[in-house]
Structure 1
Amino acid sequence: MATVLEKLQEFQREITCSICRSYFFQPVTICCGHSFCRSCLSQIWRLGTTAFSCPECRQVSPGKELPGVNGILAQLTDMGKELCSLHLQSTEGQRKCAKHQKAFKLFCEDDQTPLCVRCSQSPEHVAHKLSPVEEAAHEHRKKLQHLWSHLEKHFHEAEELLDQGERPTVDWAWMISGEYNKLHYFLKKAECQCLERIMEDQRASQERLSQHRQALQDLMLVLQEADHQPNVNLLQEVKQLLGRTESVLSQRAKIVFPELKEYPIPGMIEMLRRFRVDITMDPTAASPCVTISEDLKSVKAAEGWQVNTKHPEHSAVHAVLAEQAFSSGRQYWEVDVTQLPQWILGIHTPYLRRKRKRNVDSCDSLFLLSCVKKEEDYLLQAYPGSLNHRMKCPVPRVGVYLEYSSGTLVFYNVLQSSLIYAFHSIAFTEPVTPFFSPGPPLPGTKAGPMTLFPVDSHL
């Protein structure tokens, strides 16, 4: 026959929530007959993405609304808690000291543990503050009730915040979307203005070319007519004809090598810097005519780099490769060329497949941007490529962007946030290595360094 303690324990199980393992608080009973604390069930109920199932038997409930508080079960829970408390206070229900088999009569406030009389007389508890069990339980029950009230307040606050989350007072998604739309509008407007400027520059360039061609044609006719004049007449006009010819021909360089215009792209450099990589130069992959700094971040022309003074454009190119090679993803690095009037930057890949009619061959490939000092201007050329433009002022800081999957290589004027040149649809099949050449140096000048900017550097 079951004892009073066993029956009491069974009754405790009936008034205990299977989710929080505590006595029911505002119990609710769902359609399958199982009961839970309303707050415990509410949390699980909100997490369900489909139809709700009982935490115990997994039976699916037809509705999504929480049932009302089961008043009878709430009263039974209060009665059960009171019975358990009375039972614990009785001699039969009180737990005993495992060491002395005596009932707990005192409570140690320092160690927060119940004691029997003999335990309280031990040396370890003599100096501690002791209280009768009834008095200590009463005080701690008051503390727990206060904490319960505090938790209930926070629980309701959390419920309100959760409801607000479902119906937010501030629609952040809408506001942020509006900001991006505004940004798209500004960028689109800037793009349209830039394209209009490019069209105007192209028309002006065509007009200059047309005028130059007309000037050449007119001069050719004048020279042809002069050739048929008597000697004296020819000699009287020759000074003027030579001056006119020199003037027309002096315009050739500006027509053949048009000026590279700067078209700033707002925010481009800032965006590319998300892909910055830390690059170092490989001393084992360097020409003997260049010297590399100890930190492997700079390279400059050595004294052994001889330049052909008669034909500088035919001078040998000496370079160094990076220690890093890339075969996927996006990479971006910046190079300081402030102290170099002439330089070459780009990439090297061991093999590149090219289709030539029916055959497919492999060869070493370089994709480069070079700067050459030509009289008072700086000539920017791409290899291979169609860039052959001049600039009045040098580019002090060059940004290089590589996107392996699409075969894209782009060069930027960092300080102007403008495009210099772009290679597209390169058929990479092997890793790509950055390429650096600090020259050829100008005869009679002191060689300056080509330096990689640190990843965390700013303008």
Structure 2
Amino acid sequence: MDATAKFLKELQSEITCSICRGYFCEPVTIRCGHSFCRACLSSSWRNGAPAFSCPECRQDSQDREIPLVNRCLAELSELGKELSSKLMQSTEGQSHCVTHKKLFKLFCDEDQIQLCVTCYETPEHGAQKISLVQESAHKYRRELENLQIRLEKHLEEDEQLLAQEERTAVDWHGMIMGEFDKLHHFLMEEENLCLKSIREEQKASQDRLSQHMQSLQDLMQELQEASHQANLDLLQDAKQLLGRSEAVLAKQAKAVIPELREYPIHSLIEMFNRFRVDLTLDPRSATSCVTISEDLKHVKARGDWEVGTKAPEDCLHHYVFAKQVFSSGSKYWEVDVTQLPQWILGIYTPNLKRKRARNVASCTSVFLLQCVKKEGDYYLQTYPGPLNHQMKSPLSRVGVYLEYSLGTLAFYNVLQSSLIYNFHSISFKAPVTPIFSPGPPLPGTKPGPMTLCPVDSHLCACCYSSQ
């Protein structure tokens, strides 16, 4: 009986449909060699499908027609079902209780075991739900049939939903691509307008400087001619000439010193906020010049600030360092400088060689943006770098973006969403540390703190206009 059961089990695996998990009904065999019920394969190969593939091995089939019924396999399936039925009947007829040597005629629903009459009479089974084997088998067959009907109904509903989804599916791929195309178009237009404005302002500045130079040349020519005039003629025109000279000279600073322009870039700061880092100050870096708050987010200048003429990288005792250091990736942080007339922001990286103009190598360890106040006007300067521009008004919040792998360090006016200055092509060889300096303070003033903004602090211009 064991050999027969093993043979029947192997036979069942050959005559069972892998889709419905039942014996083949009108079996068909496709090119890859796998067989299925004709109805199951037809349901799998829905009309309108781009390719017909085997439900088992997924190999594509060029044939879109359902093959003819495999008669040999159909006969084998019928023979297998008949053998299975006979074996089941034989097994039922020869199933005996090992303990009492009697036929199993009862079934315990609670313990899911077969019982003979003597087993039923024992105390441990007397109070449990017992029924005849035939009745239990009939009940479970009915439940399994009902379950199969429900599964077939759900399968049919899912197939209908899938077909409907394919007919009415939204082309999200195309729609999203279209939205990004529009965004690219808007950004391109904004870039063109910004570049056009820069060219126009550069030309206006060059024209203004050229006119000022021409005025100086004309004035020099007049002064030279006046020096050869007779005394009476000289005295007649001298006062007017001197007045005109003073007026021309007064325009020199405005003509020569450039003004920092603001070119807002849409959604620039929102993009950088993806790389926002939460910085804290290193209390060990506090010196006699600066003090750090307990929450490590504020730094203030002290009264004994030493003002010197050394290069910024030689005055590190004026700076406070961040606890965090960076050696990879993109990082962005913001600093509130509202209460400071003068300040310095940047990074420190030791022993860095940097190429300057004409391929002259120089060593620098700091890259800085500095705000300086002179005679009521504010100026932004970079070190190293050429920036020395006058501002229309002092800055409130400065954003700093570091891209380590690209060697980029950029400073931004957060409220205007505009670039201030960009260091590029820096060959970082060591970790980078953000540095901060709330000074030098102006004589006779009590400047407030420089504040490291929290990562969830996102401000716009209206936030400051109400203060």
Report the TM-score, using the length of structure 2 for normalisation: 0.78
Cα drift, residue 372 of structure 1: 1.1
Superposed counterparts of 1:52-131, under 5 Å: 67-68=66-67, 70=69, 72=71, 73=73, 77=77, 80-81=80-81, 84-85=84-85, 87-88=87-88, 92=92, 103-111=103-111, 114-117=114-117, 120=120, 127-131=127-131
Give the aligned partner of residue 12 of structure 1.
12
Give the aligned partner of residue 401 of structure 2.
401
Give the aligned partner of residue 188 of structure 2.
188
When residues 203 and 363 of structure 1 are mapped into structure 2, their CA distance, relative to the original with a 3 A threshold, is: closer
Letter in 1 for 2:250: S
Does the 8 A contact of 1:441 with 1:447 survive in 2? yes
When residues 284 and 169 of structure 1 are mapped into structure 2, their CA distance, relative to the original with a 3 A threshold, is: same
Cα drift, residue 95 of structure 1: 5.1
Which digits, 9 at most, give the CA deviation of each residue in 1:4-25, with x for residues without a partner? 7566556534433579875446
Cα drift, residue 204 of structure 1: 1.9
Give the aligned partner of residue 271 of structure 1.
271
Give the aligned partner of residue 291 of structure 2.
291
Quick one: percent identity of the two aligned structures? 62
Q: Could you tell me how far apart the structure 1 residues matched to 2:202 and 2:55 are?
A: 71
Which digits, 9 at most, give the CA deviation of each residue in 1:142-186, with x for residues without a partner? 322232233334444555666788888433222222211111111
Cα drift, residue 188 of structure 1: 0.8
When residues 354 and 269 of structure 1 are mapped into structure 2, their CA distance, relative to the original with a 3 A threshold, is: closer
Does the 8 A contact of 2:334 with 2:452 survive in 1? yes
Letter in 1 for 2:394: P
Matched, 1:250 2:246: no
Cα drift, residue 197 of structure 1: 1.2
Superposed counterparts of 1:227-242, under 5 Å: none
Give the aligned partner of residue 425 of structure 2.
425
Matched, 1:328 2:328: yes
Q: Could you tell me how far apart the structure 1 residues matched to 2:96 and 2:254 are?
A: 106
Q: Could you tell me how far apart the structure 2 residues matched to 1:291 and 1:32 are?
A: 79
For structure 1, the residue ranges without an aligned partner over 5 or more in a row are none
Does the 8 A contact of 1:330 with 1:403 survive in 2? yes
DSSP 3-state at the match of 2:283? strand
Does the 8 A contact of 1:31 with 1:61 survive in 2? no
Give the aligned partner of residue 48 of structure 2.
none
**Range moving further from structure 2, 390-399 or 73-82:** 73-82
Which digits, 9 at most, give the CA deviation of each residue in 1:24-49, with x for residues without a partner? 466433457664567599989xxxx9
Letter in 1 for 2:279: I
Q: Could you tell me how far apart the structure 2 residues matched to 1:21 and 1:93 are?
A: 27
Which digits, 9 at most, give the CA deviation of each residue in 1:266-307, with x for residues without a partner? 122222222223333223344442222333333221233244
DSSP 3-state at the match of 2:253? helix
Give the aligned partner of residue 208 of structure 1.
208
Q: Could you tell me how far apart the structure 1 residues matched to 2:419 and 2:359 are?
A: 35
Q: Could you tell me how far apart the structure 2 residues matched to 1:126 and 1:214 are?
A: 121
Q: Could you tell me how far apart the structure 2 residues matched to 1:292 and 1:268 are?
A: 31
Give the aligned partner of residue 198 of structure 2.
198
How many residues of Structure 1 are paired with residues of Structure 2 in the alignment?
450
When residues 159 and 413 of structure 1 are mapped into structure 2, their CA distance, relative to the original with a 3 A threshold, is: same
When residues 256 and 355 of structure 1 are mapped into structure 2, their CA distance, relative to the original with a 3 A threshold, is: closer
Letter in 1 for 2:428: F
**Range moving further from structure 2, 218-227 or 135-144:** 218-227
Letter in 1 for 2:213: R
Matched, 1:443 2:443: yes
Which digits, 9 at most, give the CA deviation of each residue in 1:85-137, with x for residues without a partner? 56535664575566666544444444555555455556665554444333333
When residues 356 and 10 of structure 1 are mapped into structure 2, their CA distance, relative to the original with a 3 A threshold, is: closer
DSSP 3-state at the match of 1:281? coil
Does the 8 A contact of 2:17 with 2:37 survive in 1? yes
Report the TM-score, using the length of structure 1 for normalisation: 0.79
Cα drift, residue 331 of structure 1: 1.8
Give the aligned partner of residue 305 of structure 1.
305
Q: Could you tell me how far apart the structure 2 residues matched to 1:95 and 1:297 are?
A: 83
Give the aligned partner of residue 346 of structure 1.
346
Cα drift, residue 406 of structure 1: 2.2
**Range moving further from structure 2, 74-83 or 435-444:** 74-83
Does the 8 A contact of 2:332 with 2:401 survive in 1? yes
Cα drift, residue 426 of structure 1: 1.6
Compute the RMSD of aligned alpha carbons.
4.4
When residues 441 and 74 of structure 1 are mapped into structure 2, their CA distance, relative to the original with a 3 A threshold, is: farther
Cα drift, residue 429 of structure 1: 2.3
DSSP 3-state at the match of 2:284? strand
Give the aligned partner of residue 463 of structure 2.
none
Q: Could you tell me how far apart the structure 2 residues matched to 1:100 and 1:252 are?
A: 121
**Range moving further from structure 2, 6-15 or 390-399:** 6-15
Q: Could you tell me how far apart the structure 1 residues matched to 2:436 and 2:94 are?
A: 86
When residues 403 and 146 of structure 1 are mapped into structure 2, their CA distance, relative to the original with a 3 A threshold, is: same
Cα drift, residue 316 of structure 1: 6.0
Q: Could you tell me how far apart the structure 2 residues matched to 1:312 and 1:13 are?
A: 89
Q: Could you tell me how far apart the structure 2 residues matched to 1:255 and 1:102 are?
A: 117
Q: Could you tell me how far apart the structure 1 residues matched to 2:193 and 2:443 are?
A: 43
When residues 223 and 360 of structure 1 are mapped into structure 2, their CA distance, relative to the original with a 3 A threshold, is: closer
Q: Could you tell me how far apart the structure 1 residues matched to 2:440 and 2:206 are?
A: 33
For structure 2, the residue ranges without an aligned partner over 5 or more in a row are 46-50, 460-467
Give the aligned partner of residue 139 of structure 1.
139
When residues 439 and 234 of structure 1 are mapped into structure 2, their CA distance, relative to the original with a 3 A threshold, is: farther
**Range moving further from structure 2, 235-244 or 284-293:** 235-244
